[in-house]
Structure 1
């Protein structure tokens, strides 16, 4: 097995001008798509040996990674089922290792035949030795279309989306508005106070829909507009004090680095038909971890057979945080190549994603 390296990130002198590091302000943050057992589809994971598809086997590896190997101060997890959260992670992490946690489950789609508790969602765990809990909220992205004005809603209604099946065959079309209404993605917001420095964080965790760039972009816009409301609630009437709130936006965005979603988050004016969309949270989010590391540190973060790419992100502002360490991912590609394997999971990796583990300092 090739060993991933948790190595220091060298910041340029230019990046550090005018910054200072607060004492004892170091913390670790992880984002990780766990691969729900409900999504271990036989037609997709044909390359995975049967023992490594087994949920009990994969769960033991996940426990070892999250609770022993990494044990990050903030853990943002996707594709965790409601059953698994309630029956294992909530109690195990909350009692045994002094973590608080929040979770939101997606609503079951029409095709769902399994128990509701087997539906997945996203969770955030936080180390109570380092953080005080302030508040949390979870949103259902298909229920927040009221963040758009009348002109925007008209565009969403008129915009047509070409629909495809899992094999990318065209099966019809629908309005972007109706497609958005039919998707069940969620986002979780947790506000924390860093004990040593008194810094207030808002940590976001989401898992965007896996296809249709227009859908992912619109879902991301909903999240950013809702985040703007949350910041105003944390700092009512304190315009000058808004710099006290720092944002960490994490998750599986199902978007490559040249995608509409990433361009939007980077502050580019994204032409969305008749609309020019600008990220309202650009003053709080101006970069992701891949902007601060050499390109050869990662080949992919998702190794799902034919579907491979960098889909997992941590976003922040470089005046708020300095990325000091990161767990490199290129070793996983080398490992698969050496063993002639097509993708994950396998004997050593419990998910088709790899965990994105980072260390930051508060500036």
Structure 2
């Protein structure tokens, strides 16, 4: 956990802007972290058979998480997934305010059909922000299964006719349904927090989500809902009349983060890059492509990360930060290859372990704000 270097991109990175830009003022730098912290409710016995019991213990993992987030990284913006409502209310929100003077917002999922625990144990997404650097403007949380109005009539028809072959965790067939019904039954959420960056006066819309873990059509549909909601939020910002904040189109910047459960060659990533995604009679284009054209992996050597998720059989780069490369310049990143090397050296199958409290590793970055 402590040996991963926070590497300057100019030392071996692939961002060509680093060679041409003038030195950036310290005031125009900020750190951003996205991290799936693995809810204790999802420590499934059948999945984490490779993890010793002492490292499954929530109090053990929670102590490590507190050290990472509140002492080791202390990012100016923290986007956390799989945080429980109870833990947010009783620990993370008050502790972040007391120790780091951070404001925060949170949205919890709704209870799925199988849920037997108290509702306070439901997980969701939280965004924490440095109040010395950012002024809070507004926030909005959405339930992705309740925003099917984001689709037009042709798209709804396609979703209702698109058959989805269902599988269990091992890939064995379990039946089928249509994509529309499946989306309605899922409980994923997304959180939007709008902030004014005090040093620059720019407006940051920070987004945090955790997409469903399988089926490309499901993840793509959920991502489309998020982007269309983001379009409404940005349009509303541009229409807003607030005397103390001058909001114009060139002052709005987007940071889209989260566990997208999508590899870099997936439909979701193609869609976010602005590529036209065609699926049978449906053609989709990201409506926010003018604000998002880059993710952090575009600016670093490929060998710096093997995975960001090390959950037994489920391994891959699933955690992302998206932005536009004329708005932000990636200047540092906490590399991930050392985790793979550590697991191989110790003959371990995956995470969590004694050094890592989650089955994901945190994606920690530093950005320059481009004016």
Normalising by structure 2, what TM-score? 0.95
Residue 167 of structure 1: how far off its partner (Å) = 1.8
The answer as to 2:50 corresponding to 1:43 is no
Q: Return the offset for 1:243.
A: 2.1
Is 1:179–2:182 an aligned residue pair? yes
In 1, Cα distance between equivalents of 2:357 and 2:271 = 32
* Counterpart check, 1:141 vs 2:144: yes
Matched ranges for 1:18-167 at <5 A: 23=25, 24-167=27-170
Q: Decide whether aligned partners of structure 1 residues 20 and 244 sit closer, same or farther in structure 2, where only a CA change above 3 A counts.
A: farther
User: Does 2:213 align with 1:210?
Assistant: yes
Tell me how far apart the structure 1 counterparts of residues 101 and 68 of structure 2 sit (CA, whole Å).
Answer: 17
* Partner SS, residue 193 of structure 1: strand
Residue 338 of structure 1: CA displacement?
0.3
Assess if the C-alpha contact under 8 Å between 1:2 and 1:331 holds in 2: no
**Quick check: 1:204–1:250 contact (8 Å CA) kept in 2?**
yes
Q: Is 1:319 matched with 2:319?
A: no
| C-alpha distance 21-102 of structure 1, shift in aligned 2 (>3 A) | farther
Structure 1 pair 2/337, CA: closer, same or farther in 2 (3 Å)? farther
2 CA distance for matches of 1:192 and 1:272? Answer: 36
- Quote the offset at 1:136 in angstroms: 0.2
- Please show how residues 255-266 of structure 1 align to structure 2 within 5 Å: 255-266=262-273
Give, in angstroms, the shift of residue 97 of structure 1: 1.6
Once the two structures are superposed, residues 33-66 of structure 1 have per-residue CA deviations (whole angstroms, 9 ceiling, x without a partner) of 0000000011100000110000000000000000
- 1:5 is aligned to 5
Q: Is the 8 A contact 1:21 1:362 kept in 2?
A: no
Q: Deviations over 1:323-363 (max 9, x none)?
A: 00000000000000000000000000000000000000100
Match of residue 354 from structure 2:
347
TM-superposed CA distance for 1:19, in Å, is 5.7
Quote the offset at 1:237 in angstroms: 7.9
Gaps of 5+ in 1: none
Separation in 1, partners of 2:159, 2:177: 11
1:61-109 superposed Cα distances (whole Å, 9 cap, x missing partner): 0000000000000000000000100110011111222000000000010
- Tell me whether 1:15 sits opposite 2:22 in the alignment: no
* Worse-superposed segment, 269-278 or 137-146: 269-278
Q: Does 1:289 align with 2:296?
A: yes
Cα shift readout 1:280-315 (whole Å, capped 9, x = no counterpart): 110000010000000011000000011100000000
* Higher deviation after alignment, 94-103 or 214-223: 94-103
The aligned counterpart of 2:305 is 298
Q: Counterparts of 1:292 and 1:225 in 2: how far apart (Å)? A: 26
Runs of at least 5 residues in structure 2 that lack an aligned partner in the other structure: 242-246
| SS of residue paired to 1:235 | helix
CA contact (8 A) 1:270 1:278 kept: yes
SS at match of 2:120: helix
Aligned residues between the structures: 362
- Rate the CA distance shift 1:12–1:125 in 2: closer, same or farther, 3 A: same
Shift of the alpha carbon at 1:18? 8.0
Contact 2:209/2:258 (<8 A) preserved: yes
1:253 equivalent in structure 2: 260
Matched-pair contact (CA < 8 Å) for 2:9–2:15: no
Cα deviation, residue 128, structure 1: 0.4
> Tell me, what secondary structure is at the counterpart of 2:3?
coil
CA-CA distance at 1:16 after TM superposition:
5.6
Check the 8 A contact 1:101/1:123 in 2, yes or no: yes
Local SS of the residue matching 1:220: helix
- Tell me the equivalent position of 1:330: 337
SS of the residue 1:112 aligns to: coil
